[in-house]
Amino acid sequence: MHPFTDPREKQLVVRTPQDQKFKNEELFYCLIDETTRSFKRGMITSATVIRVFEARPDSDTNFGARILCKLENGLDANIFEKDTDIKGNLVQTVAVGSIITGRVERLKFDEEKSHDDTFSITLNCKKQNLTSHVEYIENIEGDIPEEDLININFKT
């Protein structure tokens, strides 16, 4: 009589965040279609500037000026004024639409239950952090020549 109805039994299944079997980090990597090897702390990536925010001294959260940008994989990232070598006003120096090279400084996955269940990425664009990989290499197995730890793209 009803050829297009769903033959399964009609049960109302309500899923809650407590039913989630993923940890926040696993969920993050599933959502962005990356792995812990392809997107991690210490990676150098390109970002497109979306907006530049001025410092607000009257604000409760005094982050200073910051740059909001979009990474190649579609994620939004922040670059704080203290993580750049730019002297002066960021709003006048950085143009919207420009491409910035930065290193993934921090990936934030809120594991504790809090009101702020968001993921955030912070980039560091200081030249000294972009030139050397030594600080970001973890669990080095075997002997790696020192010249392999230097980013040749930033040699003059």
Distance CA 138, CA 136 (A): 6
Task: Answer whether 123's CB lies under 8 Å from 79's CB.
Answer: yes
Question: What pLDDT was estimated at residue 72?
Answer: 87
Q: Which domains does the chain have, with CATH numbers?
A: 20-133+140-154 (2.40.50.140)
pTM of structure: 0.68
Per-residue pLDDT tens digits for 27-79: 888 888 888 888 888 888 899 999 998 877 765 555 678 899 999 888 899 99
Amino acid found at 96: V
Distance CA 71, CA 49 (A): 9
Per-residue pLDDT tens digits for 68-98: 999 988 889 999 988 888 887 888 888 899 9
